[in-house]
Amino acid sequence: MQSLPGSTAVASRGATARVVALVPAHNEADRIGAALAALRAQSRRPERITVVADNCTDATAVIARQAGAEVVESSKNRHKKAGALNQALDQVLQGLADHDLVLVQDADTTLVPSFLADAVDAMAEDVGAVGAIFYGEPGGGLLGALQRIEFQRYAREIARRDYRADVLTGTATVFRAATLRQIRQARLDGLIGGGTSYYSLASLTEDDEITKAVRTLGYRTVSPAGCRVLTEVMTTVPKLWHQRMRWQRGALENLRDYGLTKVTAPYIVRQGLMGLSVLALGLYLAFTVWMLARGRPEFAPFWVAVGLVFVAEKVVTARGTGFKSQLLAGTLAVELAYDMFQHAVYLRSLWDMARRREERWCAT
């Protein structure tokens, strides 16, 4: 791992490190107030809160200033969130020591009161960044419930991996200032791609890409149990499709750009397993249709038992989302349709990459 100037005894100095919060926002007038209120309710409050208003045409900047936040408006930015953050970081990092911390948080997200305190405590010397564990906010009907179940299972997976962060989610991540500076220098030196600044301008998913950048520099990335956030869920199928296409396509393109390395190998394996799951589900559905077409469906005790185990697993892993959501998970049929939706996203992303079709970025 590359040495960090001024980073010795980071753990013991975490309490004295300054924390600057950056909240990129594009037309978030309806949500920015709640995000800022949650920041001010932190048990370890940031010394500075800056809303990065990116090409806003609503009252986002006005509401942020009324809430006591500093507002920095992006200038001629054509690179969406990543470009706006790069402009803000150029200003913010000038006044920070290497051991100081930068929180980057989405405007549609609220942090639990202990988030920053737990993130600062987790900043060991070999940790380059601390990411959030995200949960879905209430609402959104059936689609919202399915996303909350999905996020709950992802949180359980993070816990099983001893709270390793495989993606420094854009909902909220705390970086050490020195790590951000090293990322920029690595891009300038040609060690990693994505432009010449902190966040990549070439990636659809800047949070996934910067995770690989941090880990390529030799640092660990973690998501402690206490670093929980509540974030927006998509309320319509078209919005969810666009969001997941961006996530999936961005993840695949980032792997293509980084190539096969020690850092990317586990991600490539997961993408391969996703492909196998698509194939397995397709074969299962084809077999089911074939069996029904014969007019003689067979329900052998062994396969019934396997099905019951599968149902139990779905219900147990949905624990924490509420009784109704667990009942929903137990029906299997709705979740099966949701799985098919995500498999369709995966296949479409592969197809579009093969055709070199451009995917457009959107804020959702």
Name the packing angle between helices 206-216 and 237-258 (round to 10°). Answer: 30
Whole-prediction pTM: 0.88
Nearest to 124 by CA among 262, 47, 222, 6: 222
Residue 329: per-residue pLDDT: 76
Residue 314: per-residue pLDDT: 74
Residue 310: per-residue pLDDT: 67
Three state DSSP letters for the chain: CCCCCCCCCHHHHHHHCCEEEEEEECCCCCCHHHHHHHHHCCCCCCCEEEEEECCCCCCHHHHHHHCCCEEEECCCCCCHHHHHHHHHHHHHHHHCCCCCEEEEECCCEEECCCHHHHHHHCCCCCEEEEECEEEECCCCHHHHHHHHHHHHHHHHHHHHCCCECCCCCCCEEEEEHHHHHHHHHHHHCCCCCCCCCCCCCCCCCHHHHHHHHHHHCCCEEECCCCCEEEECCCCCHHHHHHHHHHHHHHHHHHHHHHCCCCCCHHHHHHHHHHHHHHHHHHHHHHHHHHHHHHCCCCCCHHHHHHHHHHHHHHHHHCCCCCHHHHHHHHHCHHHHHHHHHHHHHHHHHHHHHHCCCCCCCCCC
Residue 13: per-residue pLDDT: 45
Read off the pLDDT of residues 138-170 as tens digits, 9 standing for 90 and up: 999 999 999 999 999 999 999 999 999 999 999
Residue 315: per-residue pLDDT: 75
CA atoms within 13 Å, Cβ hemisphere of 301: 0
| CA end-to-end span of the chain | 35
Distance, in Å, from the CA atom of 156 to the CA atom of 133, rounded to the nearest integer, reads: 10
Residue 16: per-residue pLDDT: 83
Nearest to 239 by CA among 152, 345, 138: 345
Spans of the chain, pLDDT less than 70: 1-15, 296-300, 302-307, 310, 357-364
Residues with Cβ < 8 Å from 223, sequence gap 6 or more? 130, 131, 132, 133, 158, 163, 164, 165
